Amino acid sequence: MATTTVRVGLASCGIASGATLVFERLRSLLSGRDDVKLHKVGCVGLCFREPLVEVEKDEARYLYGEVTPEIAEAILAFHLQGEGDVGERLVFSSAGAAPENTMLAKQVRIVLRNCGQIDPERIEEYIARGGYQALARALQMTPDQIIQEVQASGLRGRGGAGFPTGLKWKFTRAAPGDVKYVVCNADEGDPGAFMDRSVLEGDPHSVLEGMIICAWAVGACEGTIYCRAEYPLAVRRLGVAIEQARAAGYLGKDILGTGFSFDIRVKEGAGAFVCGEETALLASIEGRRGMPRPRPPFPAQKGLWGKPTVINNVETFANVPWILTHGAAAFSQHGIGQSRGTKVFALAGKVRKGGLVEVPMGMTLREIVEGIGGGVGEGHTIKAVQMGGPSGGCIPLALLDTPVDYESITATGAIMGSGGMVVLDDTSCMVDVARFFLHFTQGESCGKCPFCRVGTKRMLEILERICRGEGTMEDLARLEELSVHVKDGSLCGLGQTAPNPVLTTLRYFRHEYEAHIRDKRCPAKVCTALIRYRIDPAKCIGCTLCVRQCPVGAISGERRQAHTIRDEACVRCGQCIGVCPVQAISVE
């Protein structure tokens, strides 16, 4: 008798949406049945439709979104007894049409190949999909052959800098010394970014396998995964995967009987954004304050504990087993120019279909945001795409046909970064966006470099003045001048890139800055000091809902009579607009 498989997405996004209750209901309903297998899986990428439940039956797959425990029960009844209809919840189907079929068809899954398909806490499921075969092959190759294969693939570091991965491994292997280390940077700190977290939660063994292959190639004896403590589920599943890999002989002494020994430990970081910089990360692992140091020497020559060290991020390592299994040519057939393979992006912001996507390098921003992400809400238009996190920049609508590769994105003034992609629409104030990201980087500065410590503070003060309507035209030149000094005078990537959001918004949206300064007006109606709430007396029906909702008592009026708002008391929270049944309240 054919077995039906039911999978429930239990990554952080699914759990936050209530997937645990769905899983428990399904487990209760399926108790004692041998013909149906229930599995916990990671994130398939459709975060906007969580909780997700997939049914695989008769070689066909059916993925349902926004599932409640009651709907989960109906899904079982439909597939097992043929009762009812749950078609309105179907979001993907390999056996027919569904809303997200096209969205997923446009993607190429290499890093996310197992996410949403396997139970991340069961090594046997990873092995069943070809897991650890790349390691077995690698151990039959010489270290130089592995490095040549990685170099031929064109894989570049996916943490943001885009340094050729094979070249980094080559430098580390060539560095003198018998003791070497491999470090995985899982300190994903960009606002709006969750690529690495999802891979660690959904397919931790792919990262471990990539690290073990790297260790064999460079001659390392020990590995460390530096993961932020704010990712408790990722940390727990990494721990489970490491123990399983040890028990199966893939980690520890004499791996697969080859005499090669290598082990991995997890180091939890405290969430300092600067520890995403490799030398600050190494200092944190060593128990010191996470602060960057001058380079050279680079970690490949002098890294962890003063020994040669390879540092790559989660996504980079997850690519390696696929490359060793399918070959460098298969990987490099995706992409353009010097940007080969695929890239995982976290779509966030005002986009309709937020979540994870993995696309070939060279796909345009428009294809990603509109073709896969569904664009922005009805009645609104895309204003910009913020890429690269706080270190990145804002790419305007006019450049939406820019191909996503390292060189093209850098030419816009933004950076590829680790993969955060925040979509902004016409309700976003670009001055406020620049202020938000600079506030983040200024607060995360370790304080070592005066230009980063003080320069970003002065820039933030200027932006805050402009948002209050107190700026001057001279402030714009001052921002640009300070940006140059902060970039040139900072030691690490945090300070060197912190001005990017300011510079790109000045470059593409200077008119919004000028409106704040000259007209004392925020075109997007976001900056609270420059907007006023008004009640149209011709529309107001005097229902008093706004009076009861206002947290500061700024609205007054009698029942069935037009109400008014006192500007001096109003805090511009917007709650009155949300409850007004006749849209009588406007923002000016």
Helix axes 510-518 and 500-508, enclosed angle (nearest 10): 80
Cα Rg, the chain, nearest whole Å: 26
Ranges in the chain annotated CATH 3.10.20.600: 336-425
Where in the sequence of the chain do the CATH 3.40.30.10 domains occur?
4-105
Mean pLDDT within 499-509: 95
The domain 430-518: what is its CATH number? 1.20.1440.230
State CA 345 to chain mean position distance. Answer: 6
- High-pLDDT (> 70) share of the chain, %: 100
Give me the pLDDT at residue 513, please. Answer: 97
User: Among 144, 145, 129, 446, which Cα is nearest to 279's?
Assistant: 446
Nearest CA-CA partner of 285 in 206, 377, 183: 183
pTM, rounded to two decimals: 0.93
Using the predicted structure, report yes or no on whether residue 197 has a pLDDT greater than 60. yes
* pLDDT tens-digit readout, 533-565: 999 999 999 999 999 999 999 999 999 999 999
Per-residue pLDDT at 73 exceeds 90: yes
Q: What is the pLDDT of residue 436?
A: 95
584: enclosing H helix or E strand: none
Predicted confidence at residue 391, as pLDDT, reads 84
Q: In the prediction, which pLDDT does 2 show?
A: 67
Mean pLDDT of the residues in the chain: 95
Q: Is 127 exposed, middle or buried (0-12, 13-18, 19+ CB in 10 A)?
A: middle
State the residue for tokens 């570049």.
156
Strands ordered across the beta sheet of 36-41 = 36-41, 4-9, 53-57, 60-64, 90-93
Taking residues 393-405, what's their average pLDDT? 96
Supply the pLDDT for residue 190: 83
Phi, psi of 497 (to 5 degrees): -115, -10
List beta partners, residue 40: 8
Q: Which tokens in the block code for residue 547?
A: 């009076």
Q: Does domain 123-331 have CATH number 3.40.50.11540?
A: yes
Statement: residue 201 has pLDDT above 70: yes
Choose which CATH entry (3.90.79.10, 3.10.20.600, 3.40.190.10, 3.40.50.970) describes domain 336-425.
Answer: 3.10.20.600
pLDDT at 390 over 90: no
* Ramachandran angles phi, psi of 572, nearest 5°: 55, 45
What is the Cα–Cα distance from 303 to 285, expressed in whole angstroms?
11
pLDDT tens digit sequence for 435-478: 999 999 999 999 999 999 999 999 999 999 999 999 999 999 99
Q: Quick one: average pLDDT of 71-81?
A: 95
Start-to-end CA distance of the chain, whole Å, equals: 67
Quickly state the pLDDT bin for 580 (edges 50, 70, 90). very high
Kindly report, as residue ranges, where domains of CATH 3.30.70.20 are found in the chain: 532-587
For domain 532-587, give the fold.
Answer: Alpha-Beta Plaits (3.30.70)
Residue 387 has pLDDT above 60, yes or no: yes
* Contact between residue 392 and residue 438 where contact means Cβ atoms under 8 Å apart: no
List residues bridging with 574 in a β-sheet: none
* Rounded mean pLDDT, 354-381: 95
Which residue is it, tokens 């490491």? 242
Burial 248-268 (b: 16+ CB within 10 A, else e): eebbeeebeeeebebbbebbb
> The domain 4-105: what is its CATH number?
3.40.30.10
The stretches of 139-231 forming alpha helices (DSSP H) are 143-153, 165-174, 195-202, 204-218
Residues 6+ apart with CB under 8 A from 160: 388, 391, 415, 416, 417, 418, 493
Q: Mention every residue, 6+ apart, whose C-beta is less than 8 A from residue 481.
A: none
> How far, CA to CA in Å, does 549 sit from each of 528, 558, 573, 580?
19, 15, 11, 10
- Span 260-311, pLDDT tens digits: 999 999 999 998 889 989 999 999 999 999 999 998 999 999 999 999 999 9
Q: Is the peptide bond before 297 cis (omega within 30 degrees of 0)?
A: yes
Answer yes or no: is pLDDT of 1 > 80: no
Q: Is the pLDDT of residue 191 over 90?
A: no
410-438 tens-digit pLDDT: 999 998 888 889 999 999 999 999 999 99
SS (HEC) of 527-571: CHHHCCEEECCCCCCCCCHHHHHCCCCCEECCCCCCCEECCCCCC
Confidence at 354, pLDDT banded by 50, 70, 90: very high
The string of pLDDT tens digits covering residues 220-244 is 999 999 999 999 999 999 999 999 9
Q: Looking at the predicted structure, is the pLDDT value of residue 32 above 90?
A: no
Is the distance from CB of 328 to CB of 149 less than 8 angstroms?
Answer: yes
